[in-house]
Amino acid sequence: MSFIETRGNDGIKPSEVEFSYAILNPSASFGGLYIPKELPNFSQDFISECTKLSYKELAFLILKSFRVDIEDGDLETALNLYDAFDDVNNPSPVVKVKDNLFVNEQYHGPTRAFKDMALQPFGSVLSTIAKKRGENYLILAATSGDTGPAALNTFKNKEGIKVACLYPVGGTSDVQRLQMVTEDGENLKVIGINGDFDDAQNALKSLLASDTFKATLLEKHTKLSAANSVNFGRIIFQIVYHFWSYIELLRQNEIELGEKIYLTVPSGNFGNALGGYYAKKMGLPIEKILITSNANNVLTSWINDGVYDLNDKKLVLTKSPAMDILKSSNIERIMYDMFGSIRTKELMEDLNNKNCFTLTDEEKTKLQSEFSATFSDDAYGLKTIKTYLEDGYLMDPHTATCIKAYETLMEKSLKNVVYSTAEWTKFSPSVLNALRSDEVKYSDKEALEKISSDFNVKVPDMIHGLFDKEIKHTCEINIEDLESEIINFL
């Protein structure tokens, strides 16, 4: 199956490419993204058969259905990385919390956030093809806190790969920062940016599109790619767990084959939600995808009002920092799918030039037939964490935003699978504030210990060990100095 471009073709880049090309060169014509030319379709019978499969087998099947040009053995090697998750048979368990509410816990991998679900196998696939081609790659990763640790973990010491990871100084939790700055590996460079996540992601996108930067890299025999969800290589692995959610509910006898369910996705760059949208188009019985945001609620107005307006919007730092983002990359892939490339190019140009685009009523209606949206502020999130722990379920602040959707957006009485995108251990000071209804400034170490002893929950070793690890990266710079900093590193 081939891949095409969201904003159409410029006559210079190839107009159709294979999977390997799309993941090695994620920037398409006119600054667009790669998308599959068509989606595979799975029948109900097929979904029923999937209940017999392991997570890895399901993932293999879904990747094969996209006819990716990756050898089977290399795919298997990549998928075997799921064996290192907490439960070797179930990397993302679906847990019943109450009534119609289920949680898909996506944080059981090495860096304790859902980014591992895709970045672990993606990193393996990308390094394998780079090695087979004898090519060197610089992988850029911009992070609001979870992509960075996951990308560093997956590419560490990989032959022919170097990683430059950009994070906003002060924009991540302490644990997230430590996960990055203590990561050793000759091939890793961690760079704190004086700015917010949008600044980091904008810098990444302009480097990806810059011919002069690419030419300088080529002098060093190095090519350029990215680990963010602009890369379709991440999205493809993010389709799998939505199928898994459904299959798990079937296995647990919570639904019957064909019964529709809601998915609720705490969203930022919209990669997680996009995976759900593709799963639905591939035949998974999904009623609707419910999207939650925090106080940075551009996605809420995009879906509810058809307006994406960044004028007068300023990013605010919240207790769910992985969703502190205003420019969401993957809505472009949704708009391509619904409105085509000519219109997508027009809308994205409006966003670039006027900081705003507006959908027609017809377009808005179409979008709302697939998605509903709401947002949760920190006060609501903290209250939710406390209430749910009193009933025995501990969740992180990102997961807590989903409860708002569960409580207010469901029009039908169907099962709802909420995505838990991070473990509480990554945001323990906020969680402790929630549990004690106070505003004390706890350190991560203190909060981890208190919650762990008060509520008898375990802190995994990889989090515990962070506080004794040596700091390897101290670089903090302004965006202007990014390019030279990266070149020096190479």
Which amino acid does the sequence have at 86? Answer: D
Closer residue to ligand PLP, CB minimum distance, 17 or 303: 303
Cβ closest to ligand PLP, residue 91 vs residue 268: 268
The verdict on 322 binding ligand PLP (CB under 6 A) reads yes
Nearest residue to 319 (alpha-carbon basis) of 431, 467, 202: 431
Closest CA to 363 of 345, 385, 338, 381: 338
Structure tokens at 462: 């990889």
Q: What's the rounded Cα separation, in Å, for the pair 284 and 275?
A: 11
Among 113, 139, 289, 431, binds ligand PLP (CB under 6 A): 113
Residue 428 touches ligand PLP, criterion: CB under 6 A:
no
- Nearest distance from residue 82's CB to ligand PLP, in Å? 18
Shortest Å, Cβ 348 to ligand PLP: 18
* Among candidate residues 158, 203, 133, 99, the one with its CA nearest the CA of residue 418: 99
Nearer to ligand PLP, 47 or 85 (CB): 85
Q: At what angle do helices 232-251 and 115-132 cross, to 10 degrees?
A: 130
- Total site size for ligand PLP, rule CB under 6 A: 18
168 SS3 class: strand
Enter the tokens of residue 87: 């439960």
Quote the least distance from Cβ 401 to ligand PLP, whole Å: 9
CB nearer ligand PLP, residue 17 or residue 419: 419
Q: Are 398 and 385 in contact (CB under 8 A)?
A: no
Q: Is 110 in the site for ligand PLP (CB under 6 A)?
A: no
Residues in 146-205 at the binding interface with ligand PLP, rule: CB under 6 A: 146
Does position 341 bind ligand PLP by CB under 6 A? no
Question: Which H/E stretch holds residue 143?
Answer: none
The answer to the question of residue 115 lying near ligand PLP (CB under 6 A) is: yes
Two tokens, residue 77: 């090697």
Alpha helices in 286-376 (DSSP H): 298-305, 331-354, 361-370
Choices 92-100, 214-222, 266-274, 435-443 (CB under 6 A): range interacting with ligand PLP: 266-274
How many whole angstroms separate alpha carbon 178 and alpha carbon 105? 23
- Locate tokens 């995108």: which residue? 421
Which of 25, 111, 172, 229 binds ligand PLP (CB under 6 A)? It is 229
Least distance in Å: CB of 281 to ligand PLP? 17
Name the packing angle between helices 115-132 and 72-79 (round to 10°): 140
Please answer whether residues 150 and 120 qualify as being in contact, where contact means their C-beta atoms are separated by less than 8 angstroms: yes
The residue within the footprint of ligand PLP, chosen from 421, 425, 428, 433 (CB under 6 A), is 421
Asked whether 200 and 230 are in contact (CB, 8 A), the reply is no
Which H or E element spans position 291?
strand 286-293
The residue range among 8-16, 154-162, 264-272, 370-378 that interacts with ligand PLP, by the rule CB under 6 A, is: 264-272
Query: Does 272 interact with ligand PLP (rule: CB under 6 A)?
Result: yes
CB of 69 to ligand PLP, least distance (A): 25
92 binds ligand PLP (CB under 6 A): no
Contact status: 323 vs ligand PLP (CB under 6 A): yes
**Closer residue to ligand PLP, CB minimum distance, 130 or 263:** 263
Stretch of 271-279, 362-370, 432-440, 453-461 contacting ligand PLP, by CB under 6 A:
271-279
Q: Which of 369, 372, 376 minimizes the C-alpha distance to 410?
A: 372
Q: What whole-number distance in Å separates Cα of residue 177 and Cα of residue 18? A: 36
Nearer to ligand PLP, 102 or 419 (CB): 419
Structure tokens at 152: 């560093």
CB of 330 to ligand PLP, least distance (A): 7
Q: Under the criterion CB under 6 A, does residue 381 sit at the interface with ligand PLP?
A: no
- Closer CB to ligand PLP, 139 or 150, in the complex: 150
Q: Which is nearer to ligand PLP, 47 or 402 (CB)?
A: 402
Q: What is the largest CA-CA distance in the chain?
A: 62
What's the distance, CA 342 to chain centroid? 27
Closer to ligand PLP at the Cβ: 58 or 113? 113
Query: Which of 208, 418, 422, 466 forms a contact with ligand PLP (CB under 6 A)?
Result: 422
| Cα distance between residue 481 and residue 488, in whole Å | 11
Q: Is 231 in the site for ligand PLP (CB under 6 A)?
A: no
- Residue 299 binds to ligand PLP (criterion: CB under 6 A): no
Identify which of residues 136 and 320 has a Cβ nearer to ligand PLP in the complex. 320
Distance of closest approach, residue 202 Cβ to ligand PLP, in angstroms: 15
State yes or no: residue 105 binds ligand PLP (CB under 6 A).
no
Distances (CA, A) of 449 to 175, 264, 436, 458, 460: 13, 31, 14, 9, 12
Q: What dihedral do alpha carbons 121, 125, 131, 134 form, nearest 10°?
A: -150
The binding site for ligand PLP (CB under 6 A) comprises: 113-115, 146, 229, 266-273, 322-323, 398, 421-422
